[in-house]
Amino acid sequence: MKKSLLLVIENDFSCFVLWGEGMRRRDKSSKRTHYIMTDWSVSLFGACLKYTYEKDGEGFLKLKMNPLDLSVVLLIVATAGSVLQISGTSWDVTSHLLQLPETFFTPSHTLLYAGIGLLSVSSAIALHLFYKNKEMRKLPFTISFKLLAIGSAVSLVAGPSDYLWHEMFGIDGLLSPTHLTLITGMLINSIAVVLGLARINVNLRSMGQKRMVKAALFPAFAAMWFTMMWYTYAFALPFSDGEQFNFNLNPIAESAIAVVALPLISAMVFVTASKTLGGYGASAVAAILVGLVAVTNIVPSNQLMPFLPGYLSIVVIAIVADLVSNKSSSAAAALQLKSRILGTGKSTLIAGAMVGSLFYVLGYPMLPTTFAVFMGYHDFDPVSDILPIFVNTLPAVLPFTIIAGAIMGMVGAIISEKKIQSKSAVKYTDATDLV
């Protein structure tokens, strides 16, 4: 009697693995080995995984996950880590603004470090898998493993460094060297996850796996978009005046960075998500992003909540932009949006302009602090005072941000479409040897 694993059911939705005491029995007619199992316990392995079979010295079956399937699992775990780390970061900034008690074991820190932990574990296993399997090195999606390793290493270095910085210089601002290092690692990780999920799909044979990877791309795109926003915020928000150092930029420079970078990022991510996911995929990504911002930045403060219904209405505009960007839609055809300008479809340009023009409202409640300082407001509370300031300055700020955002949104749409077109002719290596 020997402990063994035996795969008994496999389909497009799940794999059941039985673990227990087993005895081997040979069927002479079919020339197959059967197993009588006792002491049953059943484990469910989701994600439509497939296994190869190996026999140990006594003839018992062992299961070994193939590298491609393990890569899918690692990228999905990394997706969860990407969402958790940026959600924890955003929530932590809100907690600081609310002047909540600062300890290491706050809920926001738990989310942040849980996300970094998931990404670090995924990157370590992925890097080992990459160097142990020569065939995998030929596949385009494996570049994401290298990026995950780099991003995780940067994040892990930033953690202890930030602790030492606090010990030496006290409370710091958003743009301190250690914070910038941390958010850089997070940005690399978020890009790596999207890149890996988008590229691995072409190598998958199972429809179940393809559906699962596509589902993971929605939160992955949203997390990357949110991380890019916060990377821009590090330079654009007036929150970098610490006890010893003031890293705040000039208000004009902060506003300029926001006006150029945020709509550009929004349009690039939206157009890329639209081309990758199809249908209403990009608006679904935008809805997830809006939800993340609402939960981590707006809901924690009752003083910011009155604008929540207006903030959620961003999703409606995103749906319209998604409808316009879909070349096969009747709306795009009716509006004759299938011609091209500068090599980019009119529908894509309009969608980019629509999404880009929303950047100021999408940045609520953080971004209005930048424009408040630019317009001469000083010594205001970034939580209790920001909604009245936002409402009072909206007539002056909104027209400018809509026009500038639309222009930068079209630039972002052109960049994304050009990038997608340059990759469309790439011939991917077949993954048969890994299946």
Of 240-254, 326-340, 345-359, the poorest mean pLDDT is in 326-340
pLDDT of residue 159: 84
Give residue 95's pLDDT band: very low, low, confident or very high (50, 70, 90). very high
Residue 164 and residue 418: Cα distance in Å, rounded? 44
Residue 408 and residue 268: Cα distance in Å, rounded? 10
Q: Looking at per-residue confidence, does 5 or 114 come out higher?
A: 114
Of 94-108, 144-158, 222-236, the poorest mean pLDDT is in 94-108
**175-185 tens-digit pLDDT:** 999 999 999 99
For residue 228, what are the contacts with CB-CB under 8 A and spacing of at least 6? 187, 190, 265, 269
Contact 327, 320 (CB under 8 A): no
* pTM exceeds 0.75 for this model: yes
* Nearest residue to 406 via CA among 309, 264, 284: 264
- % of the chain with per-residue pLDDT over 70: 77
Give residue 109's pLDDT band: very low, low, confident or very high (50, 70, 90). confident
Which position has the token pair 């393990």?
Answer: 70
**352-362 tens-digit pLDDT:** 999 999 999 99
The arithmetic mean of pLDDT across residues 80-96, rounded, is 95
**23-76 tens-digit pLDDT:** 444 444 444 444 333 333 333 333 334 444 444 454 444 445 688 889 999 999
For residue 427, what are the contacts with CB-CB under 8 A and spacing of at least 6? none
pLDDT of residue 63: 45
Residue 426 and residue 115: Cα distance in Å, rounded? 33
Which position has the token pair 């738990």?
Answer: 110
Distances (CA, A) of 262 to 3, 270, 357: 57, 12, 10
For residue 194, what are the contacts with CB-CB under 8 A and spacing of at least 6? 217, 220, 221, 224
Residue 367 confidence (pLDDT) above 90: yes
* Residue-range domain boundaries for the chain: 2-65, 68-378+389-423
pLDDT of residue 380: 92
Tell how strand 32-45 and strand 51-55 pair up.
unpaired
User: Would you tell me the crossing angle of helices 207-236 and 367-374 to the nearest 10 degrees?
Assistant: 20
Contact 88, 113 (CB under 8 A): yes
Phi, psi of 162 (to 5 degrees): -65, -35
**What is the helix (H) or strand (E) element at residue 397, kind and residue range?**
helix 386-423
